[in-house]
With several copies, the nearest count.
Chain A
Amino acid sequence: MDGIVSLREAVAELVHDGDSVALEGFTHLIPSAAAHEIVRQELKDLTLIRMTPDLIYDQMIGMGCARGLVFSWGGNPGVGSLHRFRDAVENGWPHPLEIEEHSHAGMANRYVAGASNLPFAVLRGYVGTDLPKVTDTIAPVTCPFTREEFMAVPALHPDVGIIHAQQADRSGNVALWGITGIQKEVVLSARRSIVTVEELVEEFEPRPHQVVLPSVAVGAIAVVPGGAHPSYAHGYYPRDNAFYEAWDPIGRDRDAFRGWMERHVLGTEDFAEYIESLVQEGVGRR
């Protein structure tokens, strides 16, 4: 599936039960709308991949979409815990979650290896820590020139890579700028990809630290203004810090969480309705 479609179609067509799915965006441009659509379509048994599982992963995990989680830092940035993630790991609710954990550097290298079509990447790290004891996907490799030993990590090849970007043009090229994180590598390492964007434009203007993904690298594109809320879209809207704080009590309680998700996500048709429903209720209410 290529070109510009609705997010509902993109998810229905490209994401299947049991897939490994990476939704990336490092604090910036987090693809919230796509995560909600995955919840709405009640996808199951997903292996969720993400350096920094945050609210959207808390939501997908709490709603039972995930069988596994591959990650490097799972918290609510600046606020505290991801309670649904913790409940899954600590109490197996709504069901147990297999976890595979790395450091940020390890995850970044895994995406780079995937985008480079190499089965592994090498980095300075992990030795001396307990991570290799609990994570199978860390193994030593020796430099054939210096004979030094390093740790290797295997490539990531998500079935679906999902990102949010500021703009797409009508040829299907995608532009993002500001903090661009690992988005390029996610799209290039994935077997299929979905990009949600703030808007379609005729032509990209030069922007500071801009990354342009050429159309040949991009799968489905869906226009979803605001689709990164509560994270931000540089040049469009700021981070909704209040929402991250408001999430803490919502996520903390199973019933409050479930009710909130039913009202705002399952009970709405799309992201615009979700935002509408949040505004009407007031953010802080559980």
Chain B
Amino acid sequence: MSSGANRYTTDEMMTVAAARELRDGVLCFVGIGLPSEAANLARATHAPNCNLVYESGTIGAKPEVLPHSIGDGELAEHADSVVPIPEIFSYWLQTGRIDVGFLGAAQIDRFANINTTVIGDYGSPKVRLPGAGGAPEIAASAKEVILMLRHSRRAFVEELAFVTSVGYLDGSDARSKLRYLGAGPTVVITDLGILRPDPQTKELTLTQLHPGATAEEAREATGWELRVADEVGETDPPDEKELHTLRELREKTEAANKETQVLRELHARIGAARKR
């Protein structure tokens, strides 16, 4: 996936683009994978006071390596506080305190509604996806939502098999009737570029392309007739610092994983416990 001369992958471009969307000091609700990479990259570069909240209950988490799950010990270790699950949803997310929520998706439609539940019929699905998790309430209550997913016709569909989390329903002011606290998805970051909802209709519009990508590619990879802005900007490629920081973060993570021989250590521990 390396894009040749520039020496960065499309995943890296996505992560860097997402990180740049985070202003310093925001309270950010983070999922695992690319969102966690992006949030931690932001914290390590331009947004040192970005406050990371994970749905496992960690507030002000400061992971030194990238967590593998939203509940890694790493997250609790250096957090400002750790609260039980009911509180993270009731006292934190539901109150509208969260500035930015990150979400991924298996499918989205032109109004940034999200499906993470099933492909095909709900009763006898072709593909059973993991389901809702924290997404419906993040989509409802975070002040804004950043969506990250790779551009493809399988993912960018004309009609969702299932609406797991709400973007703008069928557009315009439809969302406001739900009395949600948050404004909804303000940006969709893909491996090709960046889409933002039209201020009036709320239809996702391609406003920016990553270096090397074309509007034609994006149209091809979209299951509906994609709106393209009159003036499409070009994303700045990842700079030295961004790339270096991101890769260092990943290396630290891999090194930390290699170090641990969990099963063998556990085996020894159990043996020792038995002898006592």
Contacts and interface: CB of A to CB of B under 8 A. Distances in A.
Contacts of A78: 32-33, 68-69
A123 interface: yes
Interface stretch (A6-14, A37-45, A173-181, A248-256): A173-181
A124 B86 contact: no
Given A73-B130, A78-B68, A115 B137 contact: no
A113 to B, nearest CB: 10
Interface in A173-195: 173, 178-182, 184-185, 188
Given A77-B70, A173-B81, A237-B269, A216 B130 contact: no
B80 A214 contact: yes
Interface residues of A, number: 83
A182 B86 contact: yes
B41 interface: no
Contacts, number: 245
B270 interface: yes
B262 A242 contact: yes
Given A216-B51, A272-B270, A131 B136 contact: yes
Interface residues of B, number: 74
Interface in A115-142: 115-118, 123-131, 134
A212 B76 CA distance: 13
A164 interface: no
Interface in A60-104: 71-75, 77-78, 81-82, 85-86, 89-90, 101-104
A102 B73 contact: no
B96 A180 contact: no
B166 A129 contact: yes
Interface in A258-275: 272, 275
Contacts of B263: 229, 240, 242-243, 275, 278-279, 283
B91 A188 contact: yes
B267 interface: yes
Nearest to A182: B85
Interface stretch (B121-129, B212-220, B221-229, B233-241): B121-129
9 contacts: A26-B71, A27-B69, A103-B132, A124-B180, A179-B57, A179-B58, A214-B59, A238-B260, A275-B270
Given A101-B117, A178-B73, A181-B84, 19 more contacts: A51-B85, A77-B70, A104-B55, A118-B90, A123-B89, A128-B175, A129-B163, A131-B136, A173-B81, A182-B85, A185-B86, A188-B95, A208-B82, A209-B81, A217-B97, A230-B262, A237-B266, A239-B72, A239-B73
Interface of A: 26-28, 51-52, 71-75, 77-78, 81-82, 85-86, 89-90, 101-105, 108-109, 111-112, 115-118, 123-131, 134, 148, 171, 173, 178-182, 184-185, 188, 199, 208-209, 211-217, 225-226, 229-230, 232, 234, 236-244, 272, 275-276, 278-279, 283
Interface of B: 27, 32-33, 51, 55-60, 68-73, 75-76, 79-86, 89-91, 93-97, 117, 122, 124-128, 130-137, 140-141, 162-166, 169, 175, 178-181, 257, 260, 262-267, 269-270, 273-274
Q: Closest 4 CB pairs between A and B?
A: A27-B71, A75-B130, A73-B133, A214-B80
